[in-house]
Amino acid sequence: MTQHTHGPSAHRYTGGFPKIGIRPIVDRRKKVKAAIGEMTMELARAAAELIAAHVRNPDGSPAETIVFDTCISGMPEASRCSELFRREGVGAVLTVAAGWCYPLETIEIDATLPHAVWGFNGTERPGAVYLAALHAAHNQKGLPAFKIYGRHIQQPYERDIPGDVREKLLRFARAGQAAALLRGRSYLSVGTVSMGIAGCIVDENFYRRYLGMKNAYVDMTEVTRRIEDGIYDPEELRRAVEWTQTYCAEGPDPNTENERIPAERKRQNWIKSVQMTLIVRDLMIGNPKLAELGFEEEAYGYDAVASGFQGQREWTDHNPSADVLEAILCSSFDWNGVREPYMVATENDNLNAISMLFNHYLSHTAQIFADVRAFWSPEAVERVAGRKPEGVAEQGFLHLINSGPAALDGTGEQSRDGRPVMKPHWEIEEGEVEACLAATSWRPTYMDQFAGGGYSTDFTTRGGMPVTMSRLNLVDGLGPVLQLAEGWTVELPPDMHDALDLRTTPTWPTTWFVPNLIPGDPVFDDAYGVMENWGSNHCAISYGHIGADLITLASVLRIPVNMHNVDPKHIFRPSAWSAFGTKDPEGADYRACAVYGPLYK
C-alpha cells in the first residue's frame, strides 16, 4: 500500500497552491541602496529558503515563495510587485528590510492579504526603525500587519535567521498559507440539519466574509440516485470492497440475537457503505473517470475542501450509517493507498468541519472528530472502576468519542522515534497503515440508534501523543469565536478503560484526553473547567500542540479566541492588537477583531 498520485485524488489541486510573496525594501538614495541593497535581497532569499524548507502544501510539496526581483524603494516598484503577486496567486506577503525606507511609498495596501514585516535588528542602518514606521502606517490605515523583530542586535554581515525570528516567520507563513488555502473554495453540505443540532446550520455570511469561501448543497437523495444508477467507478468499487474484506475486520455485534441483521444484509451494507464513500468523495472533488463512463455532469464535483453528511435520521433509519464513509475519507489512506485526508463532518456539523480544516492546514495531519462526551473526575473513576487514575490522568480527564469521523490515524499506530504519532500523509509507511487498520474493529451499529445498520469503528487512541482540541462556534451578536485546549492523550489500565467505556457506546473509538493545566486559571485549573466551558457537543482533535498557530490564524481571519492554554510568549498577532490593550490580551483580541471586522468584508 503506497502513496498514490494518479488516483481519484490526483486532481484535487490542479489549480495549484497559493504562494507567499516576499518584498525586499531599501532606501532609494544611491549610496544607501549600494550599501545595503544586496544585503536586503540576501535576507529576503534566506526567508524564502526557510519557508520552503519548513512549510508544506497539502500535497507535501514545499510552499512556494516569490521574491520580487529587485529591491522596492518607491511606488513604481511597489506597484509592479503588487501586480506580479496578483498574477502569481500570492496569498500572503512578507516584507523584509535592513534599513530605513519610505513607508507610505513602499506599503502594500491589499487588505485581504495577510502581511508581515521583518525588520533586521542591526544598528548601522536599523531595519527596526523602518519596521516601526511602517507598522504605524499600517495601523493608521487600518491594515493590520505582523511585526517580526529579533531580540538580539545582529552584525551587518550576518545572514543566519535568529531563532525567535524563525519562529515568527514560520508561524506567519503557516497561518497565511492556511487562510489563502480557504479562499475561493467551498464547503459541501450533503443533507441539512441532523437531529436539531445547530452546528449543522450553514451561515453563508460567515463563510463568505470570514473565510472567503462558497457553499454548496446536495440533498441526500443524490447519493441514493448515484447508488441506484451506478454513478461511480465500478472498477474502484471492486477494489475497495476487496480491500475492506481484507483489512477491515468485523468486530462483535452488540445487538441482541433478535435485533441482529442477517449475514447477507450485512454484506450488502458493506458494499453500500463503500458506494457511499466513493460518491461523497466524488461530490467533493469530482472524478474525471465518471466523464469517461458517460456521466459528464457528475464528474465535476463541488471543489469542496470540507463537507458534512447529515445522516441521522432521514438516512440512517433505512440505510447504512455514514460511519464507514466518514472514517475512511477522514483517514490518510484508503484502497488506493496513502493520500491527503478529507475533512468530512458527521451530522453535517459544518462548524466542526471548519475546525478540522484549520487544524489540518496547520498540521497536515488527519483529524479526530469527537463528541466531548464526559469529564471523569478521580472520585467518579474510583467509584466505577475501583481505584483512582494515576500519572498524567490523576486529576481527571475527558472522554472524547463519536461514531464515524475519527480518522483511523487516531489509533496512534504510526510512530516516530518509537513514540506514537499522527503523521502528514507523505511520511506514512505501508506498515503503519496496516497497523492502524489492525488496531480498528468495525462493529455493527446499535439497531436502536441506526435502524438501517452499518458499521462503526472501534479503537482506543494510544497514550502519550501531544494533541490540540479545538472548536469554532458562532454566537449571535458576537460572531465566530475559536476555543482550544492543548494536552495529551492517555491510556488507562484495561480494566479501568472497560469499566468507563462500557458506560457509554463501547463500539465507537475512544480518545482519553488530559488538557495541559494552569493552576489558578479560570478555565484550565482542572480538566472539568475545559468541559464546563466548551461551546459545543463536538470538537476537532489534531496531532501536535498547534495552539499558537491556531491563534495566529484566527487573528488573520479576525476571529477572537475565547479560551486557550498557550504560553503567552508564543502568541503572535498583528502589532495593532497591542493598541487595544496590553494588560488583557484576550480582551484586546476581541476589541481588535470587532474593529477590523472580517477579512473579506
Please state, in angstroms and rounded to a whole number, the distance separating the CA atoms of residues 596 and 601. 9
Q: What is the radius of gyration, based on Cα positions, of the chain?
A: 25
Give 338's strand partners. Answer: 3, 333
Task: Judge whether 347 counts as a catalytic residue.
Answer: yes
222 C-beta neighbours (distance < 10 Å), count? 15
Cell numbers placing 42 = 540576501
**In sequence order, what DSSP letters do the residues of 397-417 get, joined into one string?**
EEEEE-SS-B-GGGG--EEET
Give 214's strand partners. Answer: 186
Quick check: bond before 226 cis, omega within 30? no
Please state, in angstroms and rounded to a whole number, the distance separating the CA atoms of residues 544 and 277. 28
Residue 164: enclosing H or E segment and its boundaries? Answer: helix 163-182
Q: Where would I find the beta strands (DSSP E) of 33-175?
A: 65-67, 90-97, 115-119, 146-148
CB of 396 closer than 8 Å to CB of 377: yes
* Sign of the CA dihedral running 43, 45, 47, 50: negative
Q: How far apart are the first and last CA of the chain?
A: 45
Task: Judge whether 69 counts as a catalytic residue.
Answer: no
State the maximum Cα–Cα separation within the chain, in Å, rounded to a whole number.
90
Instruction: Name which of 91, 50, 100, 49 is nearest 71 in CA terms.
Output: 100
Give 116's strand partners. Answer: 94, 146
CB of 81 closer than 8 Å to CB of 68: yes
The catalytic residue among 108, 236, 334, 371 is 371
Cell numbers placing 591 = 476589541
Instruction: Name which of 562, 559, 353, 565 is nearest 573 in CA terms.
Output: 559
Q: What is residue 565's three-state secondary structure?
A: coil
The catalytic residue among 282, 347, 458, 549 is 347
Give 420's strand partners. Answer: 415
CB of 511 closer than 8 Å to CB of 401: yes
Residue recorded with cell 448515484 = 226
CB of 26 closer than 8 Å to CB of 71: yes
434 C-beta neighbours (distance < 10 Å), count? 14
CB of 160 closer than 8 Å to CB of 50: no
**Catalytic residue positions?**
347, 371
